[in-house]
Structure 1
Amino acid sequence: MTRRHERSAAGRSVLTVVTAFGVLAGAALAGAAPAGAVPTARRIAPGVTYRQFDLAVAAGTTHAHLLTVDLGNPHVRVDLLHPGAVAARATVSRLADSAGAVAGVNGDFFDITETQHPGVEATGASVGPAVADGQVLKAAVPKGQRFGPALPPGTSTQDVFGVGTDRRARLDRLSLAGTVTTPDGALPLKGLNQYALPQNSVGAFTPRWGTASRERAVCGTDTDRAAKCSTETYEVKVRDGRVVSASDAPGSGSIPSGTTVLVGREKGAQWLRKLSVGDRVRVTHTLVAAGSGVPYAFAIGGFPVLRGGEPLSGLDDATSAVRTVVGFRGGGRQMLILALDGAAEYRSGMTVAEEADTMRSLGASDAFNLDGGGSTEMVTRAAGASSVTVRNHPSGETERPVPNGVGVFSTG
C-alpha cells in the first residue's frame, strides 16, 4: 500500500464492544448509532463526518467505516470520481486526489475479466449508467451482460443512486433514449459507451469512451455474458455529421473530438452496411429518468437494497462478503456512505440482507449496493493534508483500480 491506514488505539478499545445483530437491526430512531460505534464522529470538512465501528453479523464480527454527508450544507457536493475515460481504471485514492475530493469510496461493478472470450481484453468499463458533473458518460449494459452478484428481483442494470440538481439524493432508473438518423431512415440507438451492446443493435462510442478496444461490445448475448462474440459486425465513424470511414470489425484507439463511432452487431451491422462514406448521419442520445424528472448532477450504477424504509424482497441472506453501500435519510438531504473493512479478521463481511438492515438501523430510508470484495475502499483527507488516507483495509491487501467512485467535495 502507498497510503497509510489509520486505526487509533483509543478507537480499538471502544470497538471491542459488540452487540447482537438483532439489536442493531431493531434500532428505531433515525440516525441511531449501532452499539460499539466510536462515540464521536470525526469532522472531515464542513458537513462531512467520519466514524468507524464493529458489527456483529451472522458470519462473526465485521468492521464498518461510515461517512455522513450533509447535502444541505452549501459547502458540500457529491460527484462521480472517474479517471477521465469510461474504459479506464484507477485506485480510489488516486481518483480522489486527482479530483480534489475530501473523501471517496469505490463505485459500480465493472468489466474486470474476459476469460470467456480468448483474445478479447477486458475494458474496465462499469456496468450501469454514469453521470458526472451533470454530463452523461454512459448507459447500462444488458442485464445478462453484467458483472457482480445476482440482482434482487425487480431490479435492473439501469438502477442508479444519484444526487439531483436540487441537492437531494434519490434512487432512480436511467434508460437510454437515442436515435441514429440516416438517408435510409432512423434506428433506435441501443448503446452509449457500453462494454456490451444488445443483440441486433447499434451503439455509439464517443471520445468519453477512451482508447480501449470496442471489440468486447459485440461479445456475449442479452442473457449470457460468456456466449461467443458475434461474427456479423460493422463499425462506422461519423465526424461533423458525415460518415468518414467504415470497417467490418470494431476498432480501438482514441476517438477524436467531434467524432462518434457507431458499432453494429447482427441486424444492427446489416443496417450500418447501407451507409457510404460522405452520407449524412445524425446521432442523438440522452438518459431518461423514471423518477422525479429532476436533472442529475451525479449518478452511479449498482442495485437498490432498501427502499422507503423496507428491504427489497429476495435479498441474498446467505453469501457474506466485504461490501460498499450508500444511502440517504431526511428526504435525501443527508447521505450515508458505508464501507466494510477487508482486514483478515473482518473479511467474512456481511450478506446483502444484513447490509440493508444495517443501513436501516443507521436511519437510512433508502440504500444502494455498490461493488464490494477487493474493490471496497474508503478514503478521507485530513485537514491540511495534500492527499487522502485509506481508512479501511482492502481485502486484496492493495488498492484495486476501479472505473469510478463516489467523491465528496468541500469548499469549506
Structure 2
Amino acid sequence: MVLSGVLAGGALVAPGPAAAATAAPTAKSPAWVRIAPGVAYRRLDIAARRGPVRAHLLTVDLRDPRVSVGLLYPGAVSARAPLSSLADAAGAVAGVNGDFFNITETQHPGTEPTGAPVGPAIAAGRELKGAVPDGQRFGPALPSGTTTREVLGVGEDGRARLGQLALDGTVSTQSGTLPLRGLNQYALPVGSVGAFTSDWGAASRMRATCGTDARRAAPCSSRTYEVTVRDGRVVAVATAPGRGAIGPGTEVLVGREAGAAALRKLSVGDRVAVRHHLVDTRSGSAYRFALGGYPVLRDQAPLPGLDEGTGAVRTAAGIADDGHRMLLLALDGAPEFRNGLTVAELAAVMRDAGCVDAFNLDGGGSSTLVTRGREAAHMTVRNHPSGGSERAVPNGIGVFSRASGV
C-alpha cells in the first residue's frame, strides 16, 4: 500500500486568486492508522484561510487483491439510511457518503421528496438509475462543462476512473419504438418516457413529472400517464403516476407531455419491450460500481471556475497511481471546524494529497466518514456530522477487505 507522499509536508494552496488561502498540515496531525490490509486512515488538521479545518482521510490500495470498493445503498434507489448502518449491513471496513439527492420539495406542495440521488448509480454491476436533467439537480452549481451524468467508479479492470454515464434505452411497442429517457429518476426530461423498476422502491413516482429540464421549481406537469408492464405485456394504465413497491419482472412507464401522449396509445394486453443500458460516453468502459457527483480535478488541474468564496463541510473522492489507489475524504463538522473549505480549496487539497483526479460528493450535514477496526462490532463515525448526528443518505462508497484487522 502506498502511503508515502500523501500530504507529507508542503503547503496546500488553492488555485487562482484564492492562492492566499494557504493551508498546511499541522504538528497535531496524527500518523496513518491501518484499518485493514490495503486500507489506512489519517486525521489531518489544516490551517485554512477561514480558520482551522479538520479532514478525515482514507487511502485504499486497489492493487491489493483483498481490497475492493463498492456502492453502499439501502436496497432501493428511493430510500435513505445513515452511512454507518449501510456500511455495517454490507460488511464494509470503511466508507464515505455519496451523491447529492432529492432532499426537499418545498416548491411542489403535496409532493414528497423521494430521497433519490441525482446522478447515475451502479452496484456490483447492476445498473440502478440514470441521471436527472441538469436543471433538476440538488447541490451547488456544476462546474462549467460538466453534467449530472458525471460519475466516479471502478471498472471491470479493477481501476478507479471518472466517467460520464448516459442512458441508452427504448420502449418497443406494436406500433413503433419510443426513446427511453429515464431510469429510476426523481425527475424526467420534459416530453419524455421513463422507466421505474423494482430497484426504485416504494416512493411516489409523481415527482418525476415536476419541474423542467432547466428549472427544478417549475410546476408539475398536468399531462401525465403511467403504464405498468409485466412479463412483456401491459397489465394496467393510469392517468397519473402512482406509488408503492414494484415487483420483479415489472416495469412502470411514466410519461409527461409528449411522452404521456405516446403512452396513451397503449392498452392492457399490448406487448411492450423495455430496454435500458448505461453507457460511458467518454471511454465505453463497463463499471462494477459507480455513483454521481462532479469532478473538481482532472489530470492534476482544477476545473476552471470552481467556487472560491463559499466555505463548507465537504466530502470528496480522489484517484491516484493510474487508478490503482483511491483516497476518500470527509471534513469535520464540529463547530470549531465548520467554516470548511471552498470547492477550489478542496481541489487543491486533493491534488496535494497525490490525486490526479478528484470528485466532489454531497457535503454539509451529509458529510460522514466511518471505519471499523478488528475488534469493532459496529462502525465508528470518525468525523462530527455538522447536524449533530448522522444524516440518512441514499448511497455512499464502501471499502471492503477480505482480511480485515489492524
Query: TM-score interval w.r.t. the shorter chain?
Result: over 0.9
* Greater shift in the superposed pair: 288-297 or 50-59: 288-297
Q: 1:349 aligns with which of 319, 340, 352?
A: 340
What is the 5 A alignment of 1:10-21? 21=12
- Deviation of 1:22 after TM superposition, in Å, equals 3.6
Give me the whole-angstrom Cα distance separating, in 2, the residues matched to 1:331 and 1:126. 28
- Deviation of 1:37 after TM superposition, in Å, equals 6.5
Q: 1:84 aligns with which of 75, 85, 109?
A: 75
Residues 25 and 47, structure 2, Cα contact 8 Å, conserved in 1: no
Residues 92 and 401, structure 1, Cα contact 8 Å, conserved in 2: yes
Equivalent position amino acid for 2:373 in 1? A
Identity of aligned residues (%): 64
Which residue is equivalent to 1:3?
Answer: none
- Deviation of 1:24 after TM superposition, in Å, equals 11
- Secondary structure in structure 1 of the residue aligned to 2:393: coil
- Secondary structure in structure 1 of the residue aligned to 2:350: helix
Structure 2: runs of 5+ lacking an equivalent = 1-8, 17-23
Q: 1:185 aligns with which of 173, 176, 180?
A: 176
Which residue is equivalent to 1:379?
Answer: 370
Which residue is equivalent to 1:65?
Answer: 56
Which residue is equivalent to 1:367?
Answer: 358
- Deviation of 1:292 after TM superposition, in Å, equals 3.0
Equivalent position amino acid for 1:256 in 2? G
Equivalent position amino acid for 1:70 in 2? D
Q: 1:258 aligns with which of 229, 249, 252?
A: 249
Q: 1:50 aligns with which of 28, 31, 41?
A: 41
- Deviation of 1:20 after TM superposition, in Å, equals 6.1
Equivalent position amino acid for 2:379 in 1? V
Give me the whole-angstrom Cα distance separating, in 2, the residues matched to 1:24 and 1:60. 18
Equivalent position amino acid for 2:287 in 1? Y
Equivalent position amino acid for 1:280 in 2? R
Q: How large is the Cα RMSD of the aligned pairs? A: 1.5
Give me the whole-angstrom Cα distance separating, in 2, the residues matched to 1:256 and 1:141. 23
Give me the whole-angstrom Cα distance separating, in 2, the residues matched to 1:180 and 1:37. 59
**Length, aligned pairs only:** 388
Equivalent position amino acid for 2:46 in 1? L
- Secondary structure in structure 1 of the residue aligned to 2:344: helix
Residues 305 and 352, structure 1, Cα contact 8 Å, conserved in 2: yes
Equivalent position amino acid for 2:314 in 1? R
Equivalent position amino acid for 1:301 in 2? G
Give me the whole-angstrom Cα distance separating, in 2, the residues matched to 1:170 and 1:101. 21
What is the 5 A alignment of 1:11-410? 21-22=12-13, 34-36=25-27, 38-410=29-401
- Deviation of 1:23 after TM superposition, in Å, equals 9.8
Give me the whole-angstrom Cα distance separating, in 2, the residues matched to 1:293 and 1:41. 36
Residues 26 and 47, structure 2, Cα contact 8 Å, conserved in 1: no
- Deviation of 1:57 after TM superposition, in Å, equals 1.9
- Deviation of 1:41 after TM superposition, in Å, equals 0.7
- Change in 2 beyond 3 A, CA 1:19/1:294: closer
TM-score using structure 2 length: 0.93
Give me the whole-angstrom Cα distance separating, in 1, the residues matched to 2:11 and 2:297. 21
Give me the whole-angstrom Cα distance separating, in 2, the residues matched to 1:157 and 1:22. 28
Cα deviations across residues 189-218 of structure 1 (Å, max 9, x unaligned)?
000000000000000000000000000000
TM-score using structure 1 length: 0.92
Give me the whole-angstrom Cα distance separating, in 1, the residues matched to 2:155 and 2:215. 34
Cα deviations across residues 31-55 of structure 1 (Å, max 9, x unaligned)?
xx94546352100000000000111
Give me the whole-angstrom Cα distance separating, in 2, the residues matched to 1:282 and 1:409. 37
Residues 326 and 335, structure 1, Cα contact 8 Å, conserved in 2: yes
- Deviation of 1:21 after TM superposition, in Å, equals 4.3
Equivalent position amino acid for 1:138 in 2? K
Residues 34 and 361, structure 1, Cα contact 8 Å, conserved in 2: no
Which residue is equivalent to 1:30?
Answer: none
- Change in 2 beyond 3 A, CA 1:328/1:184: same
Residues 37 and 51, structure 1, Cα contact 8 Å, conserved in 2: no
- Secondary structure in structure 1 of the residue aligned to 2:306: coil
Structure 1: runs of 5+ lacking an equivalent = 1-17, 26-32
Residues 30 and 43, structure 2, Cα contact 8 Å, conserved in 1: no
- Secondary structure in structure 2 of the residue aligned to 1:209: coil
